[in-house]
Amino acid sequence: MDFKYPKNEKLKSKKTIDSLFTEGKSVGKYPLRLVFIQDNFEDDVPLKMGVSVSKKYFKKAVDRNYFKRILRECYRLNKHILIENLDQKYCLMFFYQTKERLSYQEINEKTIQLFEKFVLSLRKKEEENN
């Protein structure tokens, strides 16, 4: 099991991020939201992930950075849920959307639930297409 979050897995392309917001689909598990789009990027990784915490809810950069660090850690430890169930390449954006200051354990549990919900939604979509 690879628990790394290497540079080539980080979503940095402005063009891809813009397309995520314009044509991406979304899955949510309060207070987290995952926006995703299928993409054929060059790198040899199954997905690219970016994280975001709203300035609206956390005015101080220190607080936003804290929650972004937690989101990245939760992704890093639970990305196997996604990788084992994906057959195509995806770009994902991971959002923390509340004023509440949840603990790491609560965010981690919600992350696992969100990733499982994402995988289920992809399976349903696949079954509809077949």
Q: Give the CA diameter of the chain.
A: 48
Q: How many residues does the chain have?
A: 130
Record the tokens describing residue 121, joined without a space: 């939604």
7-125: what fold? Ribosomal Protein S5; domain 2 (3.30.230)
pLDDT in tens for each of the 130 residues of the chain? Answer: 678 988 999 999 999 999 999 999 999 999 999 999 999 888 888 899 999 999 999 999 999 999 999 999 999 999 999 999 988 999 999 999 999 999 999 999 999 999 999 999 999 888 888 7
Question: Cα(115)–Cα(28) distance, rounded to whole angstroms?
Answer: 9
Residue 70 has a pLDDT of 97
Residue 47 has what DSSP assignment? E
Show me where the domains of the chain are located: 7-125
Residue 40 has a pLDDT of 87
Question: Cα(94)–Cα(97) distance, rounded to whole angstroms?
Answer: 10
- The answer to whether the beta carbons of residues 30 and 39 sit under 8 Å apart is no
